[in-house]
Amino acid sequence: MHRHTSRARGGFYSQASHAVHQSLQGIDGFVRRYGAQAKNAAIMLAPMLAKAGQPALAAGVAAVGQGMDGYATLRNQLE
């Protein structure tokens, strides 16, 4: 009689896909929880960075803070 051996399901790509999915869920939870605080921090940091001669970095910080807050607000409204 032929017996089936038990093997781990999935290969490298399945495991990698699962790891990416878990990472994205973690990022989603982080942004949903701290999005508003990130916006407030960006509001305080961006002018200081601009005065220090880093206008591109200031613009990036402001954009990321605003984006995190917008994402958090949208996700919370969709629940």
Asked if residue 62 belongs to a domain, the reply is yes
Q: Is residue 3 part of a domain?
A: no
Distances, alpha carbon 66 to alpha carbons 17, 26, 53, 59, 60, in Å: 29, 20, 21, 11, 10
- The reply to whether 7 falls in a domain is no
Number of residues that make up the chain: 79
- How many other C-beta atoms can be found within 10 angstroms of the C-beta atom of residue 34? 14
The amino acid present at 45, given as its one-letter code, is: L
Tell me whether residue 46 is in a domain.
yes
pTM, to two decimals: 0.73
Q: What is the pLDDT of residues 22-54, one digit of tens each?
A: 999 999 999 999 999 999 999 999 999 999 999
Residue 25 in any domain: the answer is yes
Decide if 19 is inside a domain.
yes
Residue 18 lies in a domain: yes
pLDDT single digits (tens) 51-66: 999 999 999 999 999 9
